[in-house]
Amino acid sequence: MWLYAIAKGLDVPKMYQVSMDFHYELIRPFIPWAFLHAFDIFSFIGLAFVGIGFGYAAFRFRPDSAVPQARFALLMAFVVPLTLLCLLHVARGETGRVWMFFSPLGLILAALVLSEAHLGRYVRLFVVGLVALQGVTQLATMRVLYFLEDAFNPDGVASATVPANLQPAQFRYDTGGAIALLGYTLGKDENANALSTSQDRTLTLYWQQLAERPSRESYKVFIHVMPTKAYTDVVLAHDSMPMDWKLPTTCWRPGQIVRDVHVLDVQHPFEPGDYFAVVGLYGSESNGRVGVYSPPTPNNAPFLPKPLAIKE
């Protein structure tokens, strides 16, 4: 099929460039990114590891050490992927955290250098110090990111309190009804009875983890709003992970109640009136909808018990 399309005039490089630009929303010149990614990669893997990796072939080794071809292959396994990642257009959408996966390979190269190279005492101490410093820095960086990225720590999220004006839903999703949608409220103050096309458009869902183990896959929440219950005329669709992408279902603790706020894109020319909303879950990797355990529901998307009133 690809050969046929190319024979008919398909410009593969152009298609690749356009698709990557729109996929990552990075419509920027390519050449600066090739150099910026090299800096990004080397910074996160560690300049010490990169220096050892590129300089590995230059060291002199004992005659009885491993075969040079094997050492060279290990070096190429480190250098070639990093070079390709710097040059490939698709790599522009990645982050420094991805480059850290190459750090173990850098550590292996450093260990081989230390074990096989004829290094002076002070040079060896210097290399060991660089490797140790880089390892500690990476651990500290990831620890800080774990707790402070976006000022949020999933492990520290307390179970929410259900408000008195909760509109009950009592839907249960996933195998055995592991996740329950207890109900919802409208408005930022959770005392409103309608959504506004110009001001408050907040729908707050209250979930509870009923199973002893969290879900194996991180689920996204989808909310579809329509003027009838025909499932055929969706006028508003909203998808996100719980708690504004910060608390995936794989992190929910047994019995935990999750307050999940969604700001819906209700704008003109949205006609005021009563609308029906369905709320469901789907896998972030599989994209398949999570089954509704109770009550049995068509399309695995149950309607909220009461319509949403949308006003001017």
Q: Are 57 and 75 in contact (CB under 8 A)?
A: yes
When mean pLDDT is compared across 71-80, 127-136, 242-251, the lowest value belongs to: 71-80
Q: 54: pLDDT confidence band, cut at 50, 70 and 90? A: low
pLDDT of 261 above 90? yes
Q: 206: pLDDT confidence band, cut at 50, 70 and 90? A: very high
pLDDT mean over 190-200: 55
What pLDDT shows up at residue 62?
Answer: 47
pLDDT mean over 181-198: 69
DSSP letters, 63-103, are TTSS-HHHHHHHHHHHHHHHHHHHH-GGGGG--HHHHGGGH
Cα–Cα dist 243/251, whole Å: 12
AA identity, residue 67: V
pLDDT mean over 248-272: 85
From residue 57, give the alpha-carbon distance in Å to each of 62, 74, 117, 249: 13, 10, 10, 47
What integer best gives the mean pLDDT of the chain?
A: 76
What pLDDT shows up at residue 220?
Answer: 94
Please give the domain boundaries of the chain with CATH numbers for all domains.
Answer: 2-151 (no CATH), 167-311 (2.60.40.770)
pLDDT of 169 above 70? yes
HSE-CB at 74 with a 13 A cutoff on CA atoms is: 21
Q: 178: pLDDT confidence band, cut at 50, 70 and 90? A: very high
pLDDT mean over 60-87: 63
When mean pLDDT is compared across 73-77, 128-132, 247-251, the lowest value belongs to: 73-77
Q: 284: pLDDT confidence band, cut at 50, 70 and 90? A: confident
pLDDT mean over 100-129: 70
SS3 of residue 41 by DSSP: helix
Look at 53 and 15; give whichever has higher pLDDT: 15
Look at 233 and 148; give whichever has higher pLDDT: 233
